[in-house]
Amino acid sequence: LGSERSELIPILLAVQDEFGYVSEFSMQFIADQLKMSANEVYGVATFFHFINKKPKGKFIIRLSRDMSSIMKGAKSVARQLRNDLGIRMGETTPDGMFTLEWTSCIGMNYQAPAMMVNNEVFSNLTPPKVHRIIEDCRQELYAHRPTVGNVGETHASTLSYASHEPNAALNRLVQQRMSPADVSGELTVSGLKGRGGAGFPTGVKWNLASKAEGDVKYIICNADEGEPGTFKDRIILGKYADLVFEGMTLAAYAVGATEGIVYLRYEYTHLRPHLETILAARRKANLLGENILGKPGFCFDIRIHMGAGAYVCGEETALIESLEGRRGEPRNRPPYPVEKGFLGRPTVVNNVETLATASCIVARGAKWFTSIGTERSKGFKLFSVSGDCARPGVYELPWGMTVQQLLELVDGQGAKAVQVGGYTGELVPASQFDRVMGYEDLGIGGSIIVYGQGREMLEVAENYLEFFIEESCGQCTGCRIGNTKLLDGVRLLQKGTCSNRYLNDLIGLSHSIKTTSKCGLGQASPNIFIAINEHFKEEIMARPVLAA
Ligand code: SF4
Q: Hey, which of 104, 224, 468, 476 would you mutate to test ligand 1's pocket, going by the most ligand atoms within 8 Å of its Cβ?
A: 476
How far, in Å, from the CA of 318 to the mean position of ligand 1?
10
Task: Write out pLDDT tens, residues 219-264.
Answer: 999 999 999 999 999 999 999 999 999 999 999 999 999 999 999 9
Q: What is the DSSP letter of 46?
A: T
**Percentage, residues of the chain above pLDDT 70:** 95
Task: Write out pLDDT tens, residues 285-327.
Answer: 999 999 999 999 999 999 999 999 999 999 999 999 999 999 9
The pLDDT, as a whole number, for residue 198 is 80
Pairing of the two strands 115-117 and 301-306: unpaired
Contact 451, 418 (CB under 8 A): yes
Dihedral of alpha carbons 51, 56, 60, 66, sign: negative
**Percentage, residues of the chain above pLDDT 90:** 87
3-state secondary structure of 530: helix
Closest to 68 in 3D by CA, of 537, 455, 511: 455
Gap between the Cα atoms of 161 and 365, Å rounded: 14
Task: Write out pLDDT tens, residues 164-175.
Answer: 899 999 999 999
Q: Hey, which of 311, 519, 523 would you mutate to test ligand 1's pocket, going by the most ligand atoms within 8 Å of its Cβ?
A: 519
Q: Which atom of ligand 1 is nearest to the CA of 474?
A: 8
Across 367-376, average pLDDT? 93
Residue 156 has pLDDT above 70, yes or no: no
Gap between the Cα atoms of 408 and 400, Å rounded: 15
Contact 104, 422 (CB under 8 A): no
Question: 504: buried, middle or exposed (CB in 10 Å: 19+, 13-18, 0-12)?
Answer: exposed
Residue 154 has pLDDT above 60, yes or no: no
Gap between the Cα atoms of 335 and 316, Å rounded: 12
Gap between the Cα atoms of 142 and 149, Å rounded: 13
- Residue with CA nearest ligand 1 atom 4: 519
State phi, psi for 381 to the nearest 5 degrees.
-145, 150
The pLDDT, as a whole number, for residue 152 is 40
- Residue with CA nearest ligand 1 atom 1: 473
3-state helix/strand/coil string of 396-456: EEECCCEHHHHHHHHCCCCCCEEEECCCCCEEEEHHHCCCECCCCCCCCCCEEEEECCCCC
How far, in Å, from the CA of 119 to the mean position of ligand 1?
28
Gap between the Cα atoms of 467 and 315, Å rounded: 16
For residue 143, what pLDDT band results from cuts at 50, 70 and 90?
very low
Closest to 198 in 3D by CA, of 493, 429, 502, 520: 520
How far, in Å, from the CA of 192 to the mean position of ligand 1?
28
The pLDDT, as a whole number, for residue 285 is 97
Closest to 202 in 3D by CA, of 254, 144, 159, 277: 254
Residue 144 has pLDDT above 50, yes or no: no
The pLDDT, as a whole number, for residue 1 is 63
Contact 196, 354 (CB under 8 A): yes
For residue 153, what pLDDT band results from cuts at 50, 70 and 90?
very low
Gap between the Cα atoms of 383 and 406, Å rounded: 10
How far, in Å, from the CA of 512 to the mean position of ligand 1?
13
- Asked if residue 346 has a cis previous peptide bond (ω within 30° of 0), the answer is no
Contact 402, 437 (CB under 8 A): yes
Across 121-149, average pLDDT? 77
Task: Write out pLDDT tens, residues 448-472.
Answer: 999 999 999 999 999 999 999 999 9
The pLDDT, as a whole number, for residue 149 is 36
Pairing of the two strands 393-398 and 426-429: unpaired
How far, in Å, from the CA of 198 to the mean position of ligand 1?
16
Task: Write out pLDDT tens, residues 66-87.
Answer: 999 999 999 999 999 999 999 9
Contact 101, 62 (CB under 8 A): yes
Average pLDDT over all residues of the chain: 93
Q: Hey, which of 483, 513, 518 would you mutate to test ligand 1's pocket, going by the most ligand atoms within 8 Å of its Cβ?
A: 518
Task: Write out pLDDT tens, residues 176-230.
Answer: 999 999 999 999 999 999 998 788 999 999 999 999 999 999 999 999 999 999 9
Contact 437, 375 (CB under 8 A): no
Q: Hey, which of 329, 465, 515, 527 would you mutate to test ligand 1's pocket, going by the most ligand atoms within 8 Å of its Cβ?
A: 329
State phi, psi for 32 to the nearest 5 degrees.
-60, -45
Across 476-502, average pLDDT? 95
Residue 122, H or E segment: strand 120-122
Residues at CB less than 6 angstroms from ligand 1: 312, 330, 472-476, 479-480, 517-519, 521-522
The length of the chain is 548
Task: Write out pLDDT tens, residues 529-545.
Answer: 999 999 999 999 887 65
The pLDDT, as a whole number, for residue 140 is 74
Residue 150 has pLDDT above 60, yes or no: no
How far, in Å, from the CA of 519 to the mean position of ligand 1?
5
Q: Which positions ≥6 away from 518 have C-beta within 8 Å?
A: 330, 332, 475, 476, 479
How far, in Å, from the CA of 209 to the mean position of ligand 1?
26
Question: 247: buried, middle or exposed (CB in 10 Å: 19+, 13-18, 0-12)?
Answer: buried
Gap between the Cα atoms of 239 and 149, Å rounded: 12
Gap between the Cα atoms of 359 and 282, Å rounded: 15
How far, in Å, from the CA of 27 to the mean position of ligand 1?
26
How far, in Å, from the CA of 489 to the mean position of ligand 1?
21
Task: Write out pLDDT tens, residues 37-55.
Answer: 999 999 999 999 999 999 9
- Asked if residue 544 has a cis previous peptide bond (ω within 30° of 0), the answer is no
Closest to 171 in 3D by CA, of 429, 363, 427: 363
The pLDDT, as a whole number, for residue 151 is 38
Strand ranges, E, within 426-532: 426-429, 447-451
Instruction: Report DSSP letters for 68-91, one per residue.
Output: HHHHTTHHHHHHHHHHHHT--TT-
Side chain identity, residue 528: I
